Amino acid sequence: MDRVPILKIGAVLLVSIQIDLEDQTVLALQEDLADRITRTGARGVIIDITAVDVVDSFIGRMFATIAAMSRLMDAETVVVGMRPAVAITLVELGLSLGGVRTALDLEKGMRLLGVAVPGADGR
């Protein structure tokens, strides 16, 4: 089973999903993230899905679970980089991810979490 790496930038944990997610990998990621949030005191989690070409109900539910779990540990979650075809499909599937914050890309996600983006002049 592959494990998804979790990177730390200041008070934000960054998860960039680059593989075709297996259910076991998804469950391991939830546990790894919970552990890293408590150990680092992170205030934000960014899940980058730029490279993800399919989000089914299981993976979609993972986003909601991670967001709810992080919130209980005082961290905000933002899902960034959703492809247009994935967004269209998710809505038709019936999964609107109501409780999950999203941003178009990593930079916007960082700003949403109140993190200064280097070289972006605060705009």
Partner 1 sequence: MTPDTTGGEITIASNDDVVRVRQLVRTAAAAAGLSLVDQTKIVTAASELARNTLIHGGGGSARVESAARAGRRPGVRITFTDDGPGIPDVDQALTEGWTSGGGLGLGLPGARRLVDEFELRTEPGAGTTVTVTKWPR
Q: Pick the binder of partner 1 from 7, 9, 51, 54 (CB under 8 A).
A: 54
- Fill in the per-residue mask, 14 to 33: x = in contact with partner 1 (CB under 8 A), - = not in contact: ------xxxxx---------
Q: Which of 41, 93, 25, 99 is nearest to 67 (CA)?
A: 99
Q: How far is the CB of 91 from partner 1 (least distance, A)?
A: 10
User: Are 11 and 45 spatial neighbours (Cβ–Cβ below 8 Å)?
Assistant: no
Which residue number, 37 or 82, has a Cβ lying nearer to partner 1?
82
**What is the amino acid identity at position 101?**
R
Judged by CB under 8 A, the residue of 14, 29, 55, 113 near partner 1 is: 55
Distance CA 33, CA 95 (A): 23
Contact 8, 36 (CB under 8 A): yes
Rule CB under 8 A: which of 66-105 touch partner 1? 83-86, 88-89, 92-95
Closest approach of partner 1 to the CB of residue 23, in Å: 4
Task: Fill in the amino acid letter for 105.
Answer: D
